[in-house]
Amino acid sequence: MTLSGPWGISQHGLMWRQLDNPQYMPLCRGFSLLELMLVLALLSVLVWVAVPRYGAQQVQGRSAAMQLELMACAQALHALAFSASPRDDHPWLLLADADGDGDGDSASGAIANTICDISSSTRNDFTITVVGDQGRFELRAEPATGAHSDTLTLEHLGRQSWFDDE
């Protein structure tokens, strides 16, 4: 009995694989060093381009979320002014929280929690302050860390202005 291919038969009838014949040697499976180096080079270029863009997108997303929350806060402040009693001619004098209890008790400073419900993530990324007087208010969001560079100011009429702190 003869077999074709890489198999052979011993004198006892056992089949065995001819590994000593180079024609039937199995091909080595795997990657060469050159292929691995090319893949690593491509991955490093991809990371070099993607990581700064991802960080910029995070900053832009945080700024957009803060801007939306400031607009909602301005709407809440307008609603507060409209719901104030007619005898109260200064509804925007008690918007800030001077003593840290969360209630409005000052005309300027950090925004009171009872006035505007700002999310904790926005409060971690930005310092939200308010300045109120007899006929107007101004909300300001200053970046808490060095990752953001722009400060947003929102006036009682809805005008927004961005300026760079640096």
10-residue stretch averages of pLDDT, the chain, 166 residues long: 52 53 57 91 94 87 87 84 67 68 70 77 83 80 74 84 72
Please check whether residue 76 is in contact with residue 116, taking contact to mean a CB–CB distance below 8 angstroms: yes
Neighbours of 109 (CB within 10 A): 18
Q: Which whole-number Å values give the CA distances from 109 to 10, 104, 137, in the listed order?
A: 94, 10, 12
Provide φ and ψ at 5, rounded to 5°: 95, -155
What's the pLDDT score for residue 10?
54
What's the pLDDT score for residue 40?
96
For 113, counting Cβ atoms within 10 Å of its Cβ (0-12 exposed, 13-18 middle, 19+ buried), the class is middle
What global pTM score does this model have?
0.62
- DSSP type of residue 24: G
Please check whether residue 115 is in contact with residue 95, taking contact to mean a CB–CB distance below 8 angstroms: yes
CA-nearest of 39, 52, 104, 51 to 76 is 104
What's the pLDDT score for residue 47?
93
The CA distance from 44 to 119, in Å, is: 37
Dihedral (C-alpha) 21, 23, 24, 29: value to the nearest 10 degrees? Answer: 120
Q: What is the pLDDT of residues 69-114, one digit of tens each?
A: 888 888 888 887 777 666 665 666 667 767 766 666 776 777 777 7
What's the pLDDT score for residue 49?
92
